[in-house]
Copies of this chain bind each other. A is one copy, B any other.
Amino acid sequence: MPKPAVKDTITTVSETENSDLENLIGYNLKRADVIAKSGFQQAMGDTGLSARVFTALSLMVTYPNIAQSSLSRIMGIERSGLVAIVDELEARGYLKRAPVPGDRRVQALIPTQAGQQAYDQALTRVQTQEARQFAELSAEEKQTLLGLLKRIRQMEPMT
């Protein structure tokens, strides 16, 4: 006689709708983030671009001559954490560093043509992927979601 599957031997939890977790915004944000991240990674595929590197590339293309200090502040990461990201973008040939007249401590980051092209392609991939992954949401629902998420983003982090 075949044994039942392990998951059926004790408690089969096909729904967690009775769980306290379901009413927590933080829990739902985290789980939705995991789903979205899987889509992002699939979209990036063989480019090997991580979310952080993509984000830094995007900001550098949007704001050429951005300072590393601005980039780390906008991304919400430590400057030390940005170093590896900037190094990777430079190793890929996607940025060049330019001196800032009058302040030798600061370097401006400027995308190269290769960086601009790589970004354009990556952005198209991400946008196409999101359109596919979130197709069940209407355009209006997406705008509502983005609006609510932006309001949360504007709240101060708790420290």
Task: List the B side residues contacting A100 at CB < 8 Å.
Answer: 9-10
**Interface: A148 (CB within 8 A):** yes
Chain B residues in 8 Å Cβ range of A158: 38-39, 41-42, 129, 133
B159 near A134 (CB under 8 angstroms)? no
Closest to A12 in B: B70
Residue of B nearest to A135 (CB): B155
Chain B: which residue is nearest A76 at the CB level? B34
Which residue of the partner chain, among B10, B16, B127, contacts A65 with CB atoms under 8 Å?
B10
Report the bound CA distance from A3 to B101 in whole Å. Answer: 13
Which of chain A's residues 126-141 have a Cβ closer than 8 Å to chain B?
A: 126-127, 129-130, 133-134, 136-137, 141
* Complex partner residue of A29 from B9, B141, B149, B157, CB under 8 angstroms: B149
Find chain B residues with CB under 8 A from A33 CB.
26, 29-30, 33
Sort A-B residue pairs by CB-CB distance and give the 3 closest, nearest first.
Answer: A38-B157, A28-B149, A26-B36
